[in-house]
Structure 1
C-alpha cells in the first residue's frame, strides 16, 4: 500500500508546471524569430532580413522541495532518495516545462512592419500546494509497523501537452526623434495533445499499520481517509492516471494570444538618419535604454471528449484491498464513492506578464533585467502557471556571436546562475548550469539548444559618405546632396557659386553678390548692393548718398552745428551772434544799479525781482555774449568787510540769473569793494551811488 501511495504521489509530483524557456538567450537582439516567445513586438525593426529557426528545444524544472549538486550526480553513486537535500513544508510547489520551437521564420513586410510564422510544441506541468511532509514520510522507507498520518488539505496538479501554429505581426508605432515605439501580436491555433489534472480538498489519510484484524490472528493495515478528490483527463489517457501519451487529441483545440510593446530611448537618433531616408540603419541597435512589456499565453484548450470525476474518499478501507487494486483510478472507483462525472474543465494556458529593461553600455555590452509574473492562480483547477522569476543578465552581443550569464531569482528555488552563447546558427545555454556545478543545493535546472539560419541586415554601402546609399546615388563616388540625386551641383562660370544659387550662372561674379559681378552705377565707389542712393553719387560714410543741407545755408548737415537754422559758414552753420552795443551795456547797468540789498547783507530785496527779470531778458537776446557781474561798496566800514560784501552781492546776482535760466558759462562774479567809486564818499548821495552792482560785457 505504501508503495502505491508513494508511486501515485511522486508521479503526480514529477508533473511540474510550465515555466520559463531559453533563459538568457531571449535577451539577445540577435535571437531573431525566437524572440517572439518573449515579446511579439521584437520581430520588427530587428537585425534580420529574415531568420529561420530549424529546431530549438528548452526544458526547465524548479521546485522548493528538493536540492542537489549536479557534480555529485555525475561523479558518484548518487541516491536521489537519500543523498539529496529535502525541504518539506505544508505547501510545496513544483514547476517545469518542455518547449520545442519547430520550423519558424520571420521576414520584413516593409521597413516598419514584419511577419513571422511559427510552430511550437509544449509540455507544461505543475503541482501546487502539495504537502512536502507527506513526501518526506513516504520516502523514508519506514517498515510495515509504522503508522502514518497524511494531512494534505488542498492540492492542485496539472499536466498538459499541446502544439501551436501561430502568426506574429509587429509594426513600428512611433519613430520621432529620440522616441521609438513598436507593438506586436501573436495569434495561435492550439492543438491539445494530452491533459490530466487532479485536485483535492481537505484531504487527510490516517494509516494504522495493524488496524484491521484478519482470520488466524493476523492483522493488516487500515486506511481512514476524509476529503474530496477531483480529477479529469483527455480521452487519450485511459484508466491509469500515470499513462500520459503525447498525441493529437480529437476535439481538443483552442486559441491563444500574445501581446507586446517595446519602447526605445534613442538619444543619438540624429546619427541614425540618412539624408534621403533610404538608410534606416536596421543593422545596428540604436537605443541607449529599452523597455518591453508583454502578456503571453492568453487563451485555453477545450478537450471536448475528456471526462472529470469527483470522489468522496471519506471511508475506512483495509490495506489488502488497497494493494489489490491496479492503479489510482481503480482505487478511487472500487474503494470510494464516486459523486459525479462531468465534462473536463478547459485547460487554461499559463498566462504571464513579462517586463524587460535593457541598457546599452556601448554597442557590444548590455545589461538586462527581466521579470516574469504569473497571472494564473495556484489554486485554480486545470491551469498551468509560471513561477515568478527575476533575471539580471549581462551580455556581450555582436552579429555572429553573443555570450550571456543570467543570474535569476526564481520563486521557491532561490538564486540561479547560468551561461549561454550564440554562434552564428547555433544557440545553446542554461539559466542554471553554474549553480548546478557549484552549489550543493540546486533546486532548479534548465537547458536549451537549437539551430537556425540567420540572414542579417547588411550595412548599406555609401562610398562617398553623402548619406545616400550607392543604389540610389547617381554619383556614388562624389559627395552630393539629395536634391541633386547624390551628385554635386555644377558651377558653370567657376565663381564658386553653384548654378542652383548663382543669379548669374554664366558670368563669373562674387559669392557675396549671389554669383553676379559687383556694380557701381553712380561711380561713387560704393557698390550698388550697399548704396542706398545707387543712381546719385554720394559719400561712403553716408551709404552712398550725398550729404543733405537742410537749412540751405551752404553748410552740410554733418558739419552744421545748427542744421535746422540758417547760419554762416564762418559760424559753422549757425547765425552770427548779435553785438552788444554801448547803449545795451548802459541799459544793463542802469538796471543793475537799482538792485537793492538788505542793509549790510548780500541778500536781494524782493522788490528788485522785476529788475532782475528785465536784465535776464536782455542777456537772453545775446546768447553768445559773456558778462561779468561786479559788486561795489562805499567806504564806510573796514576795507576787508567791504571787499567781502561786494563779492557776496555779485555772487547773489549771478546765482539768481543762473537759477532763472542763464547759462552759467556766460557769467562770472567779482567784487571790487570800495576801490572803484563813481562819486565822493564824503556825502550821503555819493556813498549811495557807490553802493552798486554793474553787469559788463566781457570783450
Structure 2
C-alpha cells in the first residue's frame, strides 16, 4: 500500500528516463510553436514564416516534503514524506510535444501539433495515515481528515489545430487573437480517492489495523494503469483509447512596438520592428475526455468498520499491492465496502488554467518576463486531472540566435525554485529548479529540451 500511496517507484523511473513546463523558454522573444502552447494568439507573432518543431519534452517531479538531495542520498523517504502536520503531496508531470508545423499567411497563422501527457500524483495524503501504512509508528492514532486523499494517474494524447489572426496592427500597437481546437485520445487512468476518513489505527508489533472507521471511497481505472502502476510502460499508452474527447485553448495578445537597429546583422541597416512590451492572456485545457476500455470501471463506495462488532481491517494486506485492482479486491474481500453508485465509461475533465504573462524590454537585449498560471479546477475532485498554480519571473539576455535566462518560480507544491536555461538557434535546454536542487533544499527536480527549425 505504501508503494501505491507514494507512487515513488514510478517517479524514480521517470526521473531516470529523462508545472510550469518549459519555464523561461515558453515566453521567449524567439516566438514559435512552443509559445503558442501557452497562448495560441502568439502564433501570428512567429519569428519565422514557417516553423517545424521536431521534438520537445519536459518532466517535472515535485513534492512538499522530500528534498532532491535526500532522494539522491537514499534517505528514508517514507519517514520524510510523512513528516510534520501538513498533508503530503507529490506530483509527476511530463509532456512531450511531437512533430508539429506552423506557418504565417498575411494576417493569419495556422498550426498543427501532437502532444502526449503523463501525470502521476499523491494528493493531500494525511501524514498520520501515511505513517500507519508504512508501519512507522507504534501504538494508537486517531485519524480524522475532512478532505479527499487521492492517488491519481493518467496518460493521454492530443492533436491540436491552431489558428491566429492580427486584429489590429500599426507602427506602435498590435492586437491578435487565436484558438486551438484539440482532439483528445485518452490512454489510461486510475484514481483512488478516500474522503472524510475517520477512524483509529493501531500498531502492535508491526500488526497494523484500522477500526471504528468511516469514509467515502472512489475507485476508477481504465486501460493499462489498472494492471500495475509501478511499471513505467503502462504510462506510455497515450493514444490507446482512440478519439474520445475534444478540448480548446483560446487567447489574446497585445504588443507595444518600437523600431530598433539589428546590430547583429549590420549597425547601419534599416530599422526593424520589435516589441517593447508583450502581453498575453489565455484560457487553456477547456474540455473533457471519456475513458472507454474493456476493463473500465468507476465506482463509489462507503467504508464502514464497526468496532462495536469487533470489526477491523488489517492494513498489512496492502503491502504487496501493485495495482489499483489489487487494492480494490482487498477492500471488497474485507466486507466493509458498500457500493453506492458506479459506471463503466467515465468522463475526466482537463486541468483548465488561466495564463497571464508580460515580457518587457529593459534595455537593448535585456528582457524580463512575468508568468502566472492559475488553475480553475479543484484537485480534491475525483474526475479531474491535476495541475499546479505557478508564478515565474524570468530575466534573460536575448539575441537573434541565442538566449540565456534564469527563471525564479513560486510553485504551489514545491514552493520556491530557481533554474537556468539557454537557447542556441533552434535548440534549447533548461530546468526551472536546477540551481536550488544543487545548492539548496529544493523539493522539485525538472528538466526540458527541444529542437525546432524556422524557415
Same fold per TM (> 0.5)? yes
Post-superposition offset of 1:220: 6.0
CA deviation vs aligned residue, 1:589-609 (integer Å, no higher than 9, x gap): xxxxxxxxxxxxxxxxxxxxx
Q: What secondary structure is seen at the aligned counterpart in 2 of 1:361?
A: strand
Question: Equivalences for 1:82-481 in 2 at 5 Å?
Answer: 88-110=84-106, 112-136=107-131, 138-139=133-134, 141-142=136-137, 146-155=139-148, 156-209=150-203, 222-224=209-211, 225-238=213-226, 244-247=234-237, 248-250=239-241, 253-266=244-257, 268=259, 286-305=274-293, 306-315=296-305, 316-317=311-312, 319=314, 322=317, 327-335=326-334, 336-339=336-339, 340-439=341-440, 441-455=441-455
CA contact (8 A) 2:132 2:201 kept: no
Cα distance 1:333–1:261, how it changes in 2: closer, same or farther (>3 A)? same
CA deviation vs aligned residue, 1:177-235 (integer Å, no higher than 9, x gap): 42210111111111011111222221134233459xxxxxxx96543132121111114
In structure 2, C-alpha distance between the alignment counterparts of 1:227 and 1:86, rounded to whole Å: 21
CA contact (8 A) 2:100 2:111 kept: yes
CA deviation vs aligned residue, 1:366-414 (integer Å, no higher than 9, x gap): 1101111001112222212322111110111122111110111112322
In structure 2, C-alpha distance between the alignment counterparts of 1:119 and 1:38, rounded to whole Å: 15
Post-superposition offset of 1:317: 3.2
Moved more, 419-428 or 357-366: 357-366
The aligned residue for residue 33 of structure 2 is: 33
Q: What secondary structure is seen at the aligned counterpart in 1 of 2:21?
A: coil
In structure 2, C-alpha distance between the alignment counterparts of 1:323 and 1:33, rounded to whole Å: 46
CA contact (8 A) 2:359 2:368 kept: yes
CA contact (8 A) 1:348 1:383 kept: yes
CA contact (8 A) 1:15 1:158 kept: no
In structure 1, C-alpha distance between the alignment counterparts of 2:243 and 2:348, rounded to whole Å: 10
Post-superposition offset of 1:167: 1.3
CA deviation vs aligned residue, 1:330-352 (integer Å, no higher than 9, x gap): 11221132413323431111110
In structure 1, C-alpha distance between the alignment counterparts of 2:3 and 2:251, rounded to whole Å: 42
CA contact (8 A) 1:191 1:301 kept: yes
In structure 1, C-alpha distance between the alignment counterparts of 2:52 and 2:343, rounded to whole Å: 44
Matched residue count? 425
In structure 2, C-alpha distance between the alignment counterparts of 1:293 and 1:323, rounded to whole Å: 46
Unaligned runs of at least 5 residues, structure 2 = 13-18, 263-269, 306-310
CA contact (8 A) 2:256 2:275 kept: yes
Unaligned runs of at least 5 residues, structure 1 = 212-218, 273-279, 456-699
The aligned residue for residue 521 of structure 1 is: none
Higher strand residue share:
2
What is the TM-score of this pair, normalised by structure 2? 0.84
CA contact (8 A) 2:184 2:247 kept: yes
The aligned residue for residue 66 of structure 1 is: 66
The aligned residue for residue 595 of structure 1 is: none
In structure 2, C-alpha distance between the alignment counterparts of 1:429 and 1:266, rounded to whole Å: 29
Cα distance 1:67–1:230, how it changes in 2: closer, same or farther (>3 A)? same
CA contact (8 A) 2:278 2:358 kept: yes
The correspondence for 2:75, drawn from 73, 76, 79, is 79
Q: What secondary structure is seen at the aligned counterpart in 1 of 2:130?
A: helix
Cα distance 1:350–1:128, how it changes in 2: closer, same or farther (>3 A)? same
Post-superposition offset of 1:321: 8.7
Q: What secondary structure is seen at the aligned counterpart in 2 of 1:184?
A: strand
In structure 2, C-alpha distance between the alignment counterparts of 1:85 and 1:319, rounded to whole Å: 22
In structure 2, C-alpha distance between the alignment counterparts of 1:443 and 1:337, rounded to whole Å: 36
CA contact (8 A) 2:11 2:61 kept: no
CA contact (8 A) 1:300 1:348 kept: yes
In structure 2, C-alpha distance between the alignment counterparts of 1:241 and 1:437, rounded to whole Å: 30
The aligned residue for residue 46 of structure 2 is: 46
Cα distance 1:378–1:139, how it changes in 2: closer, same or farther (>3 A)? same
CA contact (8 A) 1:45 1:172 kept: no
Higher relative contact order (CA 8 A, sep 6+): 2
The aligned residue for residue 473 of structure 1 is: none
In structure 2, C-alpha distance between the alignment counterparts of 1:343 and 1:320, rounded to whole Å: 28
Cα distance 1:168–1:312, how it changes in 2: closer, same or farther (>3 A)? same
4+ runs deviating over 6 angstroms:
12-16
